[in-house]
Amino acid sequence: MAEAERLVLHQAQVGPMANFVYLIGDPVTRKAAVIDPAWDVDKVIEWAERYGMEIEHILITHYHPDHLGGSMMGMTIEGAARMLERVKAKVYVNKAEAEGARKVAGLSDSDLVKMDAGDTLKLGDLTVTFLHTPGHTPGSQCFLFEGNLISGDTLFVNSCGRVDLPGSDPEAMYFSLNRTLRSLPDTTVVYPGHAYSSESSTTIGAQKRTNMYMRFPTLDDFLDAMGYARR
């Protein structure tokens, strides 16, 4: 749990796939959002109550069931739909995969808020900016606030999300990493979607130095490393 004058940020690992769930909010108004609340909804709500936060928004980095809820590899994963039974909120997804999110998680159109690149959301005095970062999925999005970035399955510590799944696009991933995210200040703290490293966070500056996927000078070099030929 990190708490400063303008920010509450809580990171917790959940489920058998080493997912990270996040609670972010304004410590003054106690208005909060939960990011990718899959696997154990009751526990996520308990975290919010423990810190005196009221969940008003559910932010989804992408529509895979281990982040949103749904069926995956023979598992039924609870997520956003279950959370809507406990709290009064909306589910914020990128517009590129709103229909997919609805089908995967059993949500209705009225549950969803369709976001675009550069859109913002207010949590009390805290402003969250939505960055569209396709590649892992068509509507992958990251959340930027107060010098922090929740990066989902776009950027991991010294790695990036898979691009060999249905809907993935290695060319889009290159530009998401090497244009959209690389342009952020080096001091931006990155919080990934999975605990795939001994480090639970990193910075954009560190990733520019150590993450091979953010160091290729050209798209062709990136695709070659990924094992793809340019279309």
pLDDT in tens, 150-164: 999 999 999 999 999
Residue 229, pLDDT above cutoff 80: no
Read off the pTM.
0.95
Contact residues for 172 (Cβ-Cβ < 8 A; gap 6+): 134, 135, 138
Compute the distance between CA of residue 168 and CA of residue 137 in angstroms, rounded to an integer.
Answer: 5
5 — pLDDT class (breaks 50, 70, 90)? low
The dihedral formed by the CA atoms of 17, 103, 123 and 194, expressed in degrees to the nearest 10:
10
Say what the pLDDT of residue 228 is: 82
Q: Domain residue spans in the chain?
A: 2-226
What's the whole-number mean pLDDT along residues 82-95? 97
Would you state the structure tokens that stand for residue 38, as one six-digit string? 């899959």
- Region 2-226: CATH code: 3.60.15.10
Say what the pLDDT of residue 1 is: 47
Contact residues for 6 (Cβ-Cβ < 8 A; gap 6+): 26, 27, 28, 125, 126, 146
DSSP state at residue 164: S
DSSP state at residue 194: B
